[in-house]
Amino acid sequence: MSVRTTVRDVASRAGVSPAAVSLALNDRPGVAPPTRARILAAAAELGWSPSRAARTLARATPDTGAVGLVIARPARQLGLEPFYMEFISGIESVLADRSASLLLRLVRDRDQETAVHRTWWKARRVAGSVLVDLTENDPRIPALARLGLPTVVAGHPGLAGSGTHAVWTDDDAAIEEVVRYLALLGHRRIARVGGDPTLGHTAIRTRALARITAELGLEAARSLPTDFSGQAGARATRVLLASARRPTAIIYDNDIMAVAAVAVAAEFGLDVPRDLSIVAWDDSQLCRLTHPTLTAMSHDVHGFGAQVTRSLFDLIDRRPAPSGPAPTPVLVPRGSSAPPAGP
């Protein structure tokens, strides 16, 4: 069947107007049952399936369908993580231009996630999906490829595998930039409060930190894992500040943990940035609302979500959908970083 089969072809074969085809396929009144049957038969003969028809009809209406996003994190955490919400708002900004919607589901684990994508795709509830929170050798990628579900991965192709459509952030280059900046300020003992260590981008940052601190001849940098929550960030900060060799600068894997760190420093009577430099990651509005304001790796998370979604529509519409990097995060120095005080 030709991809170019249109409502007009079906109308012509059934001997009716295109409007009648639309009414019949859309389950609207105004078409007699025998005519409706003839239209459906004509559609079937041309290989014009209800779903294909629905998709085309949908294009003509305000609702052009949905794309899917499944997040395997606890529901409560979703409300507290600025990254996700900015990412979703970026997805929505592209969907709004196409009058499309986001089908969102929170699940407990990755197996459940694959099952949800399968169900959505088989029921034609989504035209494609966005995959987030990539792990190394992520089992979801071959599973969704087998389904034939158009998928764009928000994650590094080194994790996604070749042949996968991916949009990613260069976390290696970003870590290098922030460490070079801190080293230039005079910091020799840098630590990091990282995210979930099973996530691919967390692992990339951990490896990059080890590589660049070694290259620059700095002390080996500790990376403590967390679940990305402010509470876990505060706990990890207390561990680092209470350690025998207290770091003079700490890099945080998101904003909310860096906000928590400002409060922990105050709790310890430490001045930020004199006694402790703090660097946040993502640069949401939060970084400009603390005192001192937070130096951050600024990442247009909203734009990242939008780029992933544009790439997904390229794939859905069968346009070339090249994988590619999102702009690399850039360092925005603010009040929370400075040369370390002397010993």
Kindly identify the residues of this chain, within the stretch 10-29, that bind a copy of itself according to CB under 8 A: 24-27
Closest CB to a copy of itself among residues 4, 291: 291
In angstroms, what is the minimal distance from the CB of 203 to a copy of itself? Answer: 25
Residues 283 to 322 in contact with a copy of itself, rule: CB under 8 A? 284-286, 288-291, 293, 301-302
User: Does the protein bind a copy of itself through residue 78 (CB under 8 A)?
Assistant: yes
User: Does the protein bind a copy of itself through residue 270 (CB under 8 A)?
Assistant: no
Contact yes or no for 39/21 (Cβ under 8 A): yes
User: Does the protein bind a copy of itself through residue 332 (CB under 8 A)?
Assistant: no
In angstroms, what is the minimal distance from the CB of 323 to a copy of itself? Answer: 24
Backbone Cα Rg of the chain: 25
User: Does the protein bind a copy of itself through residue 122 (CB under 8 A)?
Assistant: yes
User: Does the protein bind a copy of itself through residue 241 (CB under 8 A)?
Assistant: no
C-alpha span between 185 and 318 (Å, rounded): 49
In angstroms, what is the minimal distance from the CB of 199 to a copy of itself? Answer: 20
Which of 11, 14, 20, 88 lies at the binding interface for a copy of itself (CB under 8 A)? Answer: 88
C-alpha span between 63 and 132 (Å, rounded): 25
3-state secondary structure of 197: coil
The bridge status of strand 128-131 relative to strand 66-71 is parallel
In angstroms, what is the minimal distance from the CB of 95 to a copy of itself? Answer: 7
Identify which range of 93-101, 151-159, 185-193, 202-210 contacts a copy of itself by CB under 8 A: 93-101
- Indicate if the alpha-carbon torsion angle 173, 175, 178, 184 is positive or negative: negative
194 Rama sector, left if φ>0, alpha if ψ -120 to 50, beta otherwise: beta
C-alpha span between 55 and 64 (Å, rounded): 7
Residues 201 to 230 in contact with a copy of itself, rule: CB under 8 A? 229-230
C-alpha span between 315 and 152 (Å, rounded): 8
Residues 166 to 205 in contact with a copy of itself, rule: CB under 8 A? none
